[in-house]
Amino acid sequence: QVQLIQSGGGLVQAGDSLSLSCAASGRAPMLYYLGWFRQAPGKEREFLSGITWRGDIRYSADSVKGRFTVSRDDAKATVYLQMNIVTPEDTAVYYCAAVASTVDRIRPVQTLTTIQDYDYWGQGTQVTVSS
């Protein structure tokens, strides 16, 4: 089993930068890919960005390219989402999620953009951006 523990988030002002963390524990080497999602009130959960557990492939949604960056610290088994120039439209609950490294779950990263593609989820963290 894998646990994803998130940290970061909170209240920030428009134009600020913010970093979210997602630490994997348990059978973390059994992971293939980690992604970041967000869900605003009344909206569906939206894929943002992801990175392979090996750290060799990244993929981001067009909506956040150039503003959000995903990275990974191998020693800490932690994935980060760096959010720059945030706006009130970035207000949401942010989730990290992971895809297991089993044959039936591994696909091109560009296709891993729906909640059904992911096997493990963090607890979510609130990000609120004031104008």
- Give the tens place of pLDDT for each residue, 52-63: 998 899 999 999
Q: What is the mean pLDDT of the chain?
A: 94
Cβ 95 vs Cβ 80: under 8 Å: no
Could you tell me which residue, 27 or 93, shows the higher pLDDT? 93
Please give the share of the chain, as a percent, with pLDDT higher than 70. 98
Check pLDDT > 70 for residue 28. no
Region of poorest pLDDT, from 28-32, 35-39, 49-53: 28-32
Cα separations (Å) of 67 from 7, 17, 64, 90, 107?
Answer: 20, 9, 5, 11, 26
Check pLDDT > 90 for residue 106. no
pLDDT digits (tens, 9 = 90+) for 75-88: 899 999 999 999 99
Cβ 23 vs Cβ 8: under 8 Å: no
pLDDT at 46: 97
pLDDT digits (tens, 9 = 90+) for 116-131: 999 999 999 999 999 9
Please give the share of the chain, as a percent, with pLDDT higher than 90. 83
Please state the rounded mean pLDDT for residues 39-52. 96
